[in-house]
Each structure stands twice: as structure tokens, then as C-alpha cells.
Structure 1
């Protein structure tokens, strides 16, 4: 049996075996987007992902019986052979430190994507589109008055 050389280990990288002498594993952008979206939603203080239009479409989709939730909503990725970059649009809960939230989202997304795919995450760019206030909407109260 032949010994593994340093070159074989370098080709595989430290986290996985995506390119080996036995073949190449390609991971679709949609897979990385879904992993990043789920990881971002796991962080306390993230209310939702996506900009205004994406959240509106998602709210409509959720009302359709049998429709599934889009786990990659608000996430865009660029996937290469060994690296990936992630862009996330999110809505933060009111009162949460956005700097701390950003650090936690980055940490969770990088950990999940690298562990599950073996790709190196080069950057996670975040855009906070809104802050969610957990208060009843005054307009809703006016509609129910008789």
C-alpha cells in the first residue's frame, strides 16, 4: 500500500476530501445556501432572513397548504472548488447588539458550512435590513374595533 504524501494531503485540504486522486466532489450553490441559511437562523437575535420583498413572498408561500419554507431565502453564495463566500440579508430582533449578532452569525455559518462541506469560507457579508419590534401593529387594532 502506498504511503500518503504531503501533496495528497494538501490537495484534500484539512477539512475534507473534495478533490482526490479518486475523483472530485462538487457541491451545488443551493446546498451551501441552505446550510448557511439554517445556521444563520439558529442564532438568537435573528428574526428572519431576506430583504422586504423576499420576506413578503415567503409570508405568502407559508400560507399555501403543502408549500415548503425556503431555507436559503436571504442567502447568496459563490462556490468554488475549495472556497466559498456567503452574503446574508437579515432582520434583527430589537434590543440585540448588531455587532454581537453579526459576529455570532458569522461564527455559526462558517462552522456549519466548513464542517458539512469541507469548503473554506473566505467571508460572510451581512446586511441588516430591518429591526423587528415585537409589538402589535396599531393598524391591526383599528380594524377590529366595531
Structure 2
């Protein structure tokens, strides 16, 4: 009876990192009692976390009236009027979240009279700062679409100027 031995496994780790080539270190990804406490285990961040952080950060900027497309804003307005209903801070926000990076897409409605480019720049800066600070993920891009301009008299239900009937 002959026995075969398996060939010795090649060590594919790189001398600098100790990890196989073309891999990304994940936050904490080691285990063992010999590791410091902050390095034991793995941290993953759900998409909804980034959505909420980005939505709140975008709404903090003066000149942003609302977020989302027409249909989502209509549904959101109905939802906001329901007793006990909460505003959806994620409306108008889409994200892609990887292990270390994220990309954010925002749909905005800006106030009439403000510079759209200035508001977009300020929103982009605030979103990048908030997401990176709170989640630790690198924000690779923030794409902004301005869907509408809010006029001050659009919210005034008593504004009847121009009405032909009484």
C-alpha cells in the first residue's frame, strides 16, 4: 500500500502585510485571545446606516428644501401627516456600500433663489465629512441630482391670487 502526501501549500502571503495578495483588510478581521480587544472580531456597516447619515447631513445645508423625486415626496408628505409617523430621513438617498468604501447618490429640491452649484458643493462636503466621520468608510463619490426648485408660495394654502372662482 502506497501513501501519497499532498504537496506542501504555497505561502501566498506578502511579506509586508501577511495577507494573500489582492485582498483588503477588514476592520478587526482577526481573532484570538492573544489579540488586543479592539482587534477581535469584524465590523460591518449596513446600507441603511449610510443612507440615514447621508440624508441627515444633506438636510442640514441651508437651501435644501426637500429630498427625493416627485412620487417619493408625495408619499412622504402623506406619511408625515399620519399621527405617529416619522419623517423618512433616507428619502432621496441611494448608496452602495463596500467593505471600506461607499458611494452616495442624492436627489434634492432646492429653494428658489439659492445658487444650485453652491448648495450642491456644500451638501457634498457635509455628506462626505459626516459619513467618513461616523462610519469610517471612505466616500468615493457623492452624485447630486437637483429634481426641483421650491417656490415660497407653493406651501401657502391661503394663496388664492390668480384664482378665477370664489
State TM-score, norm by structure 1: 0.83
User: Cα offset for 1:20?
Assistant: 3.9
Worse-matched range after superposition: 71-80 or 22-31? 22-31
Question: Which structure has the larger Rg?
Answer: 2
More helix by share: 1
Moved over 2 A (4+): 18-21, 136-140
1:141 counterpart residue number: 160
Q: Counterparts of 1:1-146 in structure 2 under 5 Å? A: 7=17, 11=25, 18-21=27-30, 22-135=40-153, 141=160, 146=166
RCO higher in 1 or 2 (8 Å CA, sep ≥ 6)?
1
Rounded to whole Å, the distance in 2 between the matches of 1:7 and 1:102 is 40
> Against the structure 1 CA distance between its residues 138 and 67, is the aligned structure 2 distance closer, same or farther, given a 3 Å change threshold?
closer
More strand by share: 1
User: Cα offset for 1:47?
Assistant: 0.3
Q: Which runs of 5+ in 1 are unaligned?
A: 1-5, 13-17
Q: Which runs of 5+ in 2 are unaligned?
A: 1-15, 19-23, 31-39
> RMSD over aligned Cα, in angstroms?
2.4
